[in-house]
């Protein structure tokens, strides 16, 4: 009788343990899943915080077409409105995107937003460019463009490093289309300066 009840207790303890183990694994799955999403993507580029806000797969802006990464393509938003910072562009993509244009990151003077997975096609420099990670630099009035410039170079360096690219992989939107973008950088002849800044961060790595 005593032996029977101890088996019963052991069985109960075993069941409790299995339920506990199941719950632990379930929690681990959620934690792992979250980390998996974040883990594929850079969270911090030389101190620039990247807010991960990947658009859902059913967003009209997502092509869900994987590709190899060959370029980092630099743009400027061309939106001088004082409120047109990275968060505003993130919100725009979430709410107003029509599927014709999308890009991977938006950077302003304090933060970067990540909208589309790096290894997925997004049409930010015409449909001919399928291999570039598109980065939009904000030009909002009142924003500190020097800091945005620096943050853009930091994010570019981090991506170059992550994907084993070289500075020759850094392109302007204008390299793919007849468009004066990134406009401020081009108009002020600062492209070489941008590349040098990327190189500087790469050397720090």
For Zn ion, the closer of residues 75 and 89 by Cβ is 75
Specify the 3-state DSSP secondary structure of 35: helix
For Zn ion, the closer of residues 70 and 186 by Cβ is 186
Number of residues counted as binding Zn ion (CB under 5 A): 3
Smallest gap from residue 31 Cβ to Zn ion (A):
38
For Zn ion, the closer of residues 39 and 99 by Cβ is 99
Six token digits for residue 46: 């030389």
* C-alpha to C-alpha distances, 192 to 52, 125, 145, 199, nearest whole angstrom: 29, 21, 17, 10
Smallest gap from residue 75 Cβ to Zn ion (A):
3
Does 181 help bind Zn ion (rule: CB under 5 A)? yes
Cis before residue 161, ω within 30 degrees of 0? no
For Zn ion, the closer of residues 69 and 125 by Cβ is 125
Let me know how long the chain is.
205
Smallest gap from residue 141 Cβ to Zn ion (A):
19
Rounded distance between C-alpha atoms, residue 74 and residue 175, angstroms = 10
Smallest gap from residue 192 Cβ to Zn ion (A):
19
For Zn ion, the closer of residues 69 and 137 by Cβ is 137
Smallest gap from residue 124 Cβ to Zn ion (A):
7
Q: What is the per-residue binding string for Zn ion in 53-82, x denoting contact by CB under 5 A?
A: ----------------------x-------
- Tell me which residue of 167, 39, 174, 50 sits closest to 105, measured CA to CA: 50
Sign of the dihedral defined by the CA atoms of residues 25, 31, 36, 39, in that order: negative
Smallest gap from residue 108 Cβ to Zn ion (A):
16
Backbone angles phi, psi at 153, to 5 degrees: -65, -35
For Zn ion, the closer of residues 186 and 199 by Cβ is 186
Restricted to residues 118-177, the positions that interact with Zn ion (CB under 5 A) are 173
CB distance 171 to 73 below 8 Å: yes
**Which element (helix H / strand E) includes 136?**
strand 132-137
Residue ranges in contact with Zn ion by CB under 5 A: 75, 173, 181
């Amino acid at each position: 009788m005593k032996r029977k009840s101890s088996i019963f207790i052991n069985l109960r303890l075993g069941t409790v343990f299995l339920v506990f183990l199941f719950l632990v694994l379930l929690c681990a799955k959620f934690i792992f899943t979250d980390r998996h999403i974040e883990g594929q993507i850079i969270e911090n580029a030389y101190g620039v915080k990247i807010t991960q806000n990947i658009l859902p797969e059913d967003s009209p802006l997502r092509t869900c077409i994987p590709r190899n990464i060959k370029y980092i393509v630099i743009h400027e938003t061309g939106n001088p409105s004082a409120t047109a910072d990275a968060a505003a562009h993130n919100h725009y993509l979430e709410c107003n995107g029509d599927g014709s244009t999308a890009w991977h990151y938006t950077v302003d003077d304090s933060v970067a937003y990540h909208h589309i997975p790096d290894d997925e096609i997004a049409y930010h420099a015409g449909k001919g460019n399928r291999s570039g990670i598109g980065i939009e630099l904000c030009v909002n009035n009142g924003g500190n463009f020097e800091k945005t410039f620096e943050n853009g170079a930091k994010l570019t360096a981090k991506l170059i490093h992550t994907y084993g690219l070289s500075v020759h992989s850094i392109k302007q939107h204008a390299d793919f289309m007849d468009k004066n973008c990134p406009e401020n950088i081009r108009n002020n002849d600062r492209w070489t300066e941008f590349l040098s800044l990327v190189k500087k961060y790469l050397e720090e790595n």
